[in-house]
A and B are shown apart, each in its own frame.
Chain A
Amino acid sequence: MISILISAVQPVTPEGIIDRYPNSYNHFVLPFVIGISFILVYLLIGLIRVLYHLTGEDRIKLLKSLFIPKTALKNLKDLFCDCLLHTKIWKRKPLLGYMHSAIALGWFLLIIVGHLEVYIFAPRHLEGITEGSLYYPIFYRFFIWINPAHETLRGTVFFFIMDLLLLYVLSGIGLAMFKRVRSIALGMRHTTKPSLADRVALYCLWAIFPLRLLAESFTADLSGGSFLTKPMNWMFKAFFGNELNFMPTWWAYSICLGLFFLAMPFSRYMHILTEPLLILMRNAGLKVRKPRKGFAEAEIYACSSCGLCIDACPMNSQKKNLKYSSVYFIRFLRRHNNRRINEIADKCLMCGKCAAICPVGVNSPEIRRVQRETLNNSINYDYSYLDSIAQTAKPENAEASAEGKVLYFAGCMSHLTPKIIKSVESLMKASGTEWEFLDKDKGICCGRPQMLAGKTQAARKAIQANKALIEASGCKTLLLSCPICLKVFKEEYGLKGIEILHYTQFIDRLAKEGKITLEKGTEAIVYHDPCELGRGCGIYNEPRNVLSAVGDLKKAPKERDESVCCGYSLGSMTLDEKDRAKIAEHSVDNLMAANPDCIVTACPMCYRAIRSKSPVPVKDFAEAVVENIKPSKTKK
């Protein structure tokens, strides 16, 4: 896009623009040159490191993805929306979004337009490093003298644009300073404590743009300026009388830039440079394989340490658990603080809310899971029961007639909540669905709890055994009532030719196909999005479609991908019962704000947790549906 723009504007050598310094060099550029050289070298080494730690397969995948048109288009869109516009933050907190896009997009455009200006008016200086191409465009306003007699319209337009952009960035910086004092004003209850490098980089960042304004104002009468720099130049002249002040400000400007780049790799601001890499890797479909290397390293450095995840984390309904937030997990991982890493990795409920709201999209629950994999696992599991259950899979089940049948897998949690199974059974009857019950008497764990615990090998055993049972059944549709199972079936089983459905999807389909007719009651219902179903599998609409047909569906203040975890997720290894109870209360408070007659959820775990704290009746999704099925007279 930029190259098209450039080719449209042919470079000229206007006679009125003269280099004030014959060599186009002044000592003050040194700090900036050191800083920028350091960060460029650091970036290169970092990039090589990250790529080196990827598996060969992943490297090829990443390379290939760059040339797939669809992915490349998505890359461009994500780079623009996430890195520059910050649309994700805009959506959640507009003021915070404005602050970020002002600094990111504003700065980016300053650099681009600055280079464009040099390309048009002094193209010689972009020709190579010896001509000062590294620093000249940054300090363009210092090095040139514009003969006022030769000012052009084009030049004036550039002056205006540059001043406007500078003002844009400054407004963002102003907000950033205000946010430090009062974070709540920008919609953040908790924010992170900055480290030393963070502080250095932060204060430099704050200083860079005001200093730039000062510096360019001091030289505005020589090198030109617009509505911002020109009036300031006149004002300074009136106050200071001479032009000697401009040297120290240009020095200060350069030093701040240099210092910022030097502090950058050790500070949160590394996210500015890492995020583009993360976007490319994510869009290529790479997965975290090691908790600190390869893809994970890109994620760790892409974390902006903004702390949005602190407010989002369900554990933080109690202040003492603030320390388990993802931002601190990433921070300790970055600093190789192993003791703390494992503690934090184990506590997490894996609800995924931090990843859902993360402005850079760091999937820290996945890193936590992989971190759990690294722990010593010396327990010898007894898998003998798998064989005894596998023997019950009779080959004669695999009849041709089984193809149209629905295979229901209840899973352990549905078995612990018999109401759900009863409701599913009556639903099958009411809709006239032909079905088989895979784990009525004996069942094998779906493998998700082991996956969450980082016991991937143990999970593989269960997955393998279950997969064989499902394939032997001959059914082509697999129905699940537990979203915990659903996620692992979808992601890890690789069942070819078998459709995997959650009962919310299945019931929605039955209703749409007219196999069941729902009667609209008057009850005010609020729906709780289970983590594994919503954020985990992206199923938000189907349950709502059905529930709005059986009652008056209300909205909870926090719902869909912002839904509050019930606290009883299988994800946490060490969170104790009291903390879980507190989270459940918090989750119920959110639902009760909608003032419902009953709460409906579609996960046996959530159902039990919410029921233990809810002042109003709690129903399972299938139960709520079965209560409202209109008995049809023409049963086939």
Chain B
Amino acid sequence: MKNNILVIGGGPAGLEASANLKRLGYNVILIEKDKQLGGHLAKWDRLFPDGVSARQTLNALLEEVSGVNCFTETQLQSINVLDKSYNAILSNGITVLADAVLLASGFDLFKAEKKEEYGYGIYEGVITNADLEEAFREKKLPSKQPQAIGFVHCVGSRDEKAGNPACSKVCCATAVKQACEVKEVYPDADVYCFYMDLRMFGRHYEDLYLKAQKEFGIRFIRGRVSEVAETADGRLQVKAEDTLSSKPLRVSLDMLVLMAGMRPSESGKTVGRQLNLTTEEDGFFSSADNLLEIQRSKLPGFFYAGACTGAKTLPDTLHEARSAAIEIDRYIKEKFSEK
């Protein structure tokens, strides 16, 4: 008899883990609360560092999960810990008796309107990273040529007042990528990036940064934006500090893109409450061990993959999904072998 594995969340982590678990011979049930699979990846246009299409990447992941029982628009209604397994009732009425559960509930984007000083939801020209990706994907960029565009790094990340002192890891590279893409569309516009420090840690990220400066002439300003106001002619006036020249700075922009960071997802929290899963101070779930057992939770048979245990890049998420599959395989073999 095949063991049932329940995977919660149909983003990259959930998809990759499901594909691997299926290959290992398990009966995988994948649930996703949205209409479509893919999570944030489905909403993105292109990916750093190489600018490959998000759609193609997602399609590759989706191909692998053929044969997996995928239930979209389905949430976990309730879950109980049994002697050796989990009894999960889904919102579509199906009951699953799972020998292991993988939580891949990912992240929510920080709600940029919380940083009211940046004027998201108040001024028309202020958008988020996700809004810009959608505009690229739907080809809905404003046709009127903007004269100046700004990117604000670390919106809701590394910001104790916003409740998140941690780095969201992806925003620096995303901002640089998006800055280049915007410059490609509007070659005459001045493009600024307001950053605290650039965390271009991954392979080719630094190249991207150099390219942005040399080829695209993006202007990098080290300092946080303090506030955004509207000028009489409807443009955005941005006040910031240039900490390299130790001077306050003000620029008029037509578009300001806020790099909203990663927060623990609300749907993940609902699952966490049902099982009393522990979280760390940052709100993300706590692993059994932060070095050796990142994929394990404190509950036997309950595993994590992806951004539900903290901000991660896409490659990191995929690694975790694969190692979670291996961990689950090991757990099942140890627990159920004598049967």
- What does the 1/0 interface line of B228-245 toward A look like (CB < 8 Å)? 111000000100000000
Task: Collect the chain A residues with CB atoms within 8 Å of residue B117's CB.
Answer: 415-418
Contact A612 B237 (CB under 8 A): no
Task: Collect the chain B residues with CB atoms within 8 Å of residue A419's CB.
Answer: 116, 122
Contact A418 B122 (CB under 8 A): yes
Task: Collect the chain A residues with CB atoms within 8 Å of residue B116's CB.
Answer: 416-419, 608
Cross-interface CB contact of A418 among B119, B161, B226, B250, cutoff 8 Å: B119
- What does the 1/0 interface line of A572-609 toward B look like (CB < 8 Å)? 00000100010000000000000000000000000010
- What does the 1/0 interface line of B293-325 toward A look like (CB < 8 Å)? 000000000000000000000000000000000
Contact flag A441-B122 (CB < 8 Å), given A417-B116, A612-B114: no
Does A240 reach chain B (CB closer than 8 Å)?
no
Does B248 reach chain A (CB closer than 8 Å)?
yes
Contact A441 B227 (CB under 8 A): no
Contact B229 A415 (CB under 8 A): yes
Residues of B within 8 Å of A, CB-based: how many? 17
Task: Collect the chain A residues with CB atoms within 8 Å of residue B228's CB.
Answer: 418
Task: Collect the chain B residues with CB atoms within 8 Å of residue A20's CB.
Answer: none
Most chain B CB within a 10 A radius of its CB, from A385, A418, A422, A577: A418
Cβ < 8 Å to B, chain A residues 603-619: 608, 612
Contact A577 B161 (CB under 8 A): yes
Cross-interface CB contact of A385 among B114, B163, B248, B250, cutoff 8 Å: B248
Does B215 reach chain A (CB closer than 8 Å)?
no
Does B334 reach chain A (CB closer than 8 Å)?
no
Q: Which residue of A lies closest to B115 (CB)?
A: A416
Cβ < 8 Å to A, chain B residues 239-276: 248, 250
Does B160 reach chain A (CB closer than 8 Å)?
yes
Once the chains are docked, how many angstroms separate the CA of A421 from the CA of B114?
Answer: 17
Task: Collect the chain A residues with CB atoms within 8 Å of residue B114's CB.
Answer: 612
Cross-interface CB contact of A422 among B122, B163, B237, B248, cutoff 8 Å: B122
Cross-interface CB contact of B160 among A416, A440, A441, A577, cutoff 8 Å: A577
Task: Collect the chain B residues with CB atoms within 8 Å of residue A581's CB.
Answer: 163
Once the chains are docked, how many angstroms separate the CA of A581 from the CA of B161?
Answer: 9
Cβ < 8 Å to B, chain A residues 391-441: 415-419, 421-422, 440-441
Shortest A450–chain B CB gap in Å is 18
Most chain A CB within a 10 A radius of its CB, from B226, B228, B229, B237: B229
Contact flag A416-B227 (CB < 8 Å), given A577-B161, A608-B116, A612-B114: yes
Once the chains are docked, how many angstroms separate the CA of A419 from the CA of B123?
Answer: 10
Once the chains are docked, how many angstroms separate the CA of A353 from the CA of B163?
Answer: 27
Task: Collect the chain B residues with CB atoms within 8 Å of residue A577's CB.
Answer: 160-161
- What does the 1/0 interface line of B146-172 toward A look like (CB < 8 Å)? 000000000000001101000000000
Q: Which residue of B lies closest to A576 (CB)?
A: B160
Shortest A415–chain B CB gap in Å is 5
Once the chains are docked, how many angstroms separate the CA of A417 from the CA of B114?
Answer: 10
Once the chains are docked, how many angstroms separate the CA of A419 from the CA of B120?
Answer: 11
Task: Collect the chain B residues with CB atoms within 8 Å of residue A440's CB.
Answer: 229
Shortest B302–chain A CB gap in Å is 29
Contact flag A441-B163 (CB < 8 Å), given A416-B227, A418-B119, A418-B229: no
Q: Which residue of A lies closest to B160 (CB)?
A: A577
Q: Which residue of A lies closest to B232 (CB)?
A: A440
Cross-interface CB contact of A415 among B160, B163, B227, B248, cutoff 8 Å: B227
- What does the 1/0 interface line of A425-462 toward B look like (CB < 8 Å)? 00000000000000011000000000000000000000
Shortest A57–chain B CB gap in Å is 40
Contact B122 A612 (CB under 8 A): no
Task: Collect the chain B residues with CB atoms within 8 Å of residue A608's CB.
Answer: 116
Task: Collect the chain B residues with CB atoms within 8 Å of residue A416's CB.
Answer: 116-117, 226-227
Task: Collect the chain A residues with CB atoms within 8 Å of residue B122's CB.
Answer: 418-419, 422
Contact flag A441-B237 (CB < 8 Å), given A385-B248, A418-B229: yes
Task: Collect the chain A residues with CB atoms within 8 Å of residue B123's CB.
Answer: 418
Shortest A574–chain B CB gap in Å is 14
Cross-interface CB contact of A612 among B119, B163, B229, cutoff 8 Å: B163
Task: Collect the chain B residues with CB atoms within 8 Å of residue A421's CB.
Answer: 229
Shortest B140–chain A CB gap in Å is 26
Q: Which residue of A lies closest to B117 (CB)?
A: A416
- What does the 1/0 interface line of B76-120 toward A look like (CB < 8 Å)? 000000000000000000000000000000000000001011010
Once the chains are docked, how many angstroms separate the CA of A342 from the CA of B195?
Answer: 36
Task: Collect the chain B residues with CB atoms within 8 Å of residue A415's CB.
Answer: 117, 227, 229
Q: Which residue of B lies closest to A417 (CB)?
A: B116
Once the chains are docked, how many angstroms separate the CA of A440 from the CA of B250?
Answer: 13
Once the chains are docked, how many angstroms separate the CA of A403 from the CA of B123?
Answer: 33
Task: Collect the chain B residues with CB atoms within 8 Å of residue A441's CB.
Answer: 229, 237, 250
Most chain A CB within a 10 A radius of its CB, from B116, B160, B250: B116
Shortest A442–chain B CB gap in Å is 9
Task: Collect the chain A residues with CB atoms within 8 Å of residue B163's CB.
Answer: 581, 612
Once the chains are docked, how many angstroms separate the CA of A419 from the CA of B114?
Answer: 12
Shortest A412–chain B CB gap in Å is 8
Task: Collect the chain B residues with CB atoms within 8 Å of residue A385's CB.
Answer: 248
- What does the 1/0 interface line of A513-541 toward B look like (CB < 8 Å)? 00000000000000000000000000000
Task: Collect the chain B residues with CB atoms within 8 Å of residue A422's CB.
Answer: 122
Once the chains are docked, how many angstroms separate the CA of A421 from the CA of B119?
Answer: 12
Cβ < 8 Å to A, chain B residues 159-193: 160-161, 163
Cβ < 8 Å to B, chain A residues 242-297: none
Once the chains are docked, how many angstroms separate the CA of A419 from the CA of B160?
Answer: 23
- What does the 1/0 interface line of A373-394 toward B look like (CB < 8 Å)? 0000000000001000000000
Q: Which residue of B lies closest to A441 (CB)?
A: B237
Once the chains are docked, how many angstroms separate the CA of A304 from the CA of B163?
Answer: 40
Once the chains are docked, how many angstroms separate the CA of A608 from the CA of B248?
Answer: 24
Task: Collect the chain A residues with CB atoms within 8 Å of residue B250's CB.
Answer: 441
Once the chains are docked, how many angstroms separate the CA of A577 from the CA of B117?
Answer: 19
Shortest A201–chain B CB gap in Å is 46
Cβ < 8 Å to A, chain B residues 119-147: 119, 122-123
Once the chains are docked, how many angstroms separate the CA of A385 from the CA of B249?
Answer: 12
Task: Collect the chain A residues with CB atoms within 8 Å of residue B248's CB.
Answer: 385
Once the chains are docked, how many angstroms separate the CA of A520 from the CA of B119?
Answer: 29
Shortest B96–chain A CB gap in Å is 33
Task: Collect the chain A residues with CB atoms within 8 Å of residue B227's CB.
Answer: 415-416, 418
Q: Which residue of B lies closest to A440 (CB)?
A: B229
Shortest B105–chain A CB gap in Å is 23
Q: Which residue of B lies closest to A415 (CB)?
A: B227
Shortest A428–chain B CB gap in Å is 15
Once the chains are docked, how many angstroms separate the CA of A421 from the CA of B122?
Answer: 11
Task: Collect the chain A residues with CB atoms within 8 Å of residue B160's CB.
Answer: 577
Shortest B231–chain A CB gap in Å is 9
Shortest B252–chain A CB gap in Å is 11
Once the chains are docked, how many angstroms separate the CA of A73 from the CA of B174?
Answer: 72
- What does the 1/0 interface line of A553-583 toward B look like (CB < 8 Å)? 0000000000000000000000001000100
20 sample A-B contacts, Cβ–Cβ < 8 Å, listed by A number: A415-B227, A415-B229, A416-B116, A416-B227, A417-B116, A417-B117, A418-B117, A418-B119, A418-B122, A418-B123, A418-B228, A418-B229, A419-B116, A421-B229, A422-B122, A441-B229, A441-B250, A577-B160, A577-B161, A608-B116
Apart from A418-B230, A441-B229, A581-B163, what are 11 other A-B pairs with CB-CB below 8 Å?
Answer: A385-B248, A415-B227, A416-B117, A417-B117, A418-B119, A418-B227, A419-B122, A422-B122, A440-B229, A441-B250, A612-B114
Residues of B within 8 A of A (CB): 114, 116-117, 119, 122-123, 160-161, 163, 226-230, 237, 248, 250
Top 8 A-B residue pairs of the complex, sorted by shortest distance between their CB atoms: A416-B117, A577-B160, A415-B227, A417-B116, A416-B227, A418-B122, A418-B119, A419-B122
